Structure formats: C-alpha cells, structure tokens
Structure 1
Amino acid sequence: MDARGYGGSSRGGQDGSQDGQPLVRSDAVVRDIAAVVDAIQARTGVSKVALLGWATGGHWAGMYSSRNPDDVSHLLIYNSLYGAHSGHKN
C-alpha cells in the first residue's frame, strides 16, 4: 500500500505543506494499514499477516505492530534509520 500523500496515493500537493506540516500523521497511516490488514484477513482467511516497512513505512509498520501484535506474524523494517551519516550502509 502507499500511505496517504506518498507513492501512487492521492496527495494534497506534490511536496506537501510549505509550513513544515507532515504530509500525513502517523495515526492516519496506522488506520490505513489496519484497513489493509483487515481486507487481507477477510479475503484470505489468515489471522496474521507479515508486514514490510521501508523508510518511514518502517516506523508506521512498527507502530501498527505494537498496537496490533495478534494480527502480525512477522515485521520487517528496512532502512528506517534517520539522522545517519552519509557513509551509513543499508
């Protein structure tokens, strides 16, 4: 899935607000993840799903998983380190 304001989703502006506000709040993305997980569970009949979060998506996947541990079989977080120096390797 693409979080609101990212990737192929609809967005209010390509670069977001110019007043320093984020494109989307974490709680909104976590609700969107919950809707996707619910749809996967309903369609497949599985009780748990594996999540992969890349960059900021890793933070959101972790937040969802911490709130819904019974719905997550595996959590993979890739490259969600912020503030690292330019020589940091993936």
Structure 2
Amino acid sequence: MSFSGERLDSKRTVTTKVAFAWDALFGTEYTQELIDAIAPLGDTDVGWREGIYEIDGTTNSSVTVNTNAVVLASLAFRANGPLIRAGQ
C-alpha cells in the first residue's frame, strides 16, 4: 500500500526475512518452499537480498540490515531456541 492507501500489487514480494522467520518457527513443507525460492538471493559478500517480486519473479536487490538481522535471528533460533526464555 502507498501512503495514500493505493494498492501496489506490482510490488508484492516473497520476502527473505519472512521466509526464514516462518521456517524457523513452523518448519513446514510450505516454508521450505519459500526458503528454496529465495535461496539464490544470498550473497557471501553483501548478505541477503530483500526478496522476489510475485508478479514476475524478479529480485528486489536491496540489501538491508533489517532483513539480514532477521535471517541471523532465525538461524540462531533454529540452532539454540529462543534468545530470551521466560523466568531467566
């Protein structure tokens, strides 16, 4: 959505951070499909790209600290569980 409320369907994206986060939390066949779809977006020099536009499959090539932080947090969650546990 734009700031004025206009739909921007051409910008709908399969986002890297959501693919990683959902897969860490739920680990389903669907979330694995998301991971498989965004796997080529990783770059060892700059990190993970933002995602893939649904309309035509092109890459949103922006690289942000937000997306890469969520990817790292998701991987840490998978490896070690929650970062903060109740009662600790």
- Per the shorter chain, which TM-score range? under 0.3
**Structure with higher helix content:** 2
- Which structure exhibits the higher relative contact order, with contacts defined as CA atoms closer than 8 Å and separated by 6 or more residues? 2
What TM-score does the superposition give when structure 2 sets the normalisation length? Answer: 0.27
